[in-house]
Amino acid sequence: MITRAAGWAALGFGLGRTIALLAFVAASAFLLLRLSPIDPVDAYLGPAMARVGVEQKAAIAAAWGLDRPWPVQFLAWAGNLASGNLGFSITYNAPVAEVIRARIGPSLALTGMAWLLSGCLGFGLGILAALHRDRWPDRLLTGWFFLLASTPTFWLGMLALTVFSVELGWAPLCCAGPIGVAPDAVTMGERIHHLVLPLAVLTAFGVAQIGLHTRSKALDILACDYVLLARAQGAGTLDIVRRHVMRNAALPGLALLFASIGEIIGGAMLAEQVFAYPGIGRALVEAGLRQDVPLLLALTLLTAAIVASGGAIARFLARRLDPRLEAMA
């Protein structure tokens, strides 16, 4: 009973902490928008703002509620959010819920697959580099990791477009499907063809951190006394990797994988901009540039919730995989 009560208390504390975090993120994002020099009415009108008078701009601002103090605006938005109304996007001229629904599928396909692939590849390549310490496979992989870690995602994306799309013609230049074709008419093969290049770029972006961390942890494990004892008893390299290295490196690698969700999402925003990929990241950038407050706040909360959930899942799995952490909780 005590253990169950402690579990429910920990769950309630974690839920309350997540709600407080999301409230702080929403308030901070709203305040930063209000401090921005970009006028949302001018951003909405675009080139037409030169033909719109001051009275018309004031009428648009009043219709959107921008003439009220920002605390009143924020409370009004929070009240609508509590009732399930995410607001209306001025960027896409559609309800925010519809905008998110139309773009969350491509984003999940790109970001989710890149996250899984980068984790698996980084973990495997990090162990491979550790097994060949100070030899050419280690130097090659470590140099590749450092090169990827220091390369901006947008530059890597533009380089990939130049080589594979412009010069070689192997991949499309943009979008999640052929230009001019309705999304419902795009075949699965065409979707995969348009997904491969941005997925490869985003996966390469995430591999570096996982690979370097796994290599460092695997080197520590290979130097432990129980590994030396296993070698003395005649255990082979594959047996040591399977029984000792992978098992002991999995916990910190898993925690780092979930902690890297925020970095993958940030990289996905840049990748979607470079490849004109119609996902959540591109919509978030456009909402920020056009001062689309309802859409920007909704997407900011969505990404913050995903990152916070990743951290919570990492802590839960860590306690499940390591009984010592469960005893200390």
CATH number at residue 244: 1.10.3720.10
**Torsion angle of the four alpha carbons 11, 14, 19, 25, in this order, in degrees rounded to the nearest 10:** -160
Q: What is the pTM of this model?
A: 0.76
Has residue 111 been placed in a domain? Answer: yes
- The sign one gets for the Cα dihedral 319, 322, 323, 329 is negative
> What pLDDT does 140 receive?
92
| Poorest-pLDDT segment among 109-118, 283-292, 295-304 | 283-292
Instruction: Name the residue among 52, 53, 38, 51 with its Cα closest to residue 91.
Output: 38
- Tell me whether residue 112 is in a domain: yes
pLDDT tens string 232-251: 777 777 787 777 788 777 77
Identify the band that residue 2 occupies on the pLDDT scale cut at 50, 70 and 90.
very low
The percent of residues in the chain predicted with pLDDT above 90, rounded, is 0
**What is the SS3 assignment for 148-214?**
HHCCCHHHHHHHHHHHHHHHCCCCCCCCCCCCCCCHHHCCHHHHHHHHHHHHHHHHHHHHHHHHHHH
pLDDT at 1 over 50: no
pLDDT, one tens digit per residue, over 19-76 is 788 888 888 877 877 777 666 776 666 666 667 667 777 777 777 677 777 778 778 7
pLDDT in tens, 74-131: 787 778 777 877 888 878 888 888 888 888 888 888 888 888 898 889 888 988 888 8
| Residue 39 within a domain | no
More confident position, 173 or 8: 173
How many domains are contained in the chain? 1
Q: Within a domain: residue 235? A: yes
User: 183-215: buried (b, 16+ CB within 10 Å) or exposed (e) per residue?
Assistant: eeebeeeeeebbbebbbbbbbbbbbbbbbbbbb
Domain range enclosing 233: 95-328
pLDDT digits (tens, 9 = 90+) for 180-213: 777 777 778 888 888 888 888 888 888 888 888 8
**141-158 pLDDT per residue, tens:** 988 888 888 888 888 888
In a domain, 37, yes or no: no
- The pLDDT, as a whole number, for residue 300 is 85
pLDDT band at residue 224 under the 50/70/90 scheme: confident
Lowest mean pLDDT among 33-47, 164-178, 253-267, 284-298: 33-47
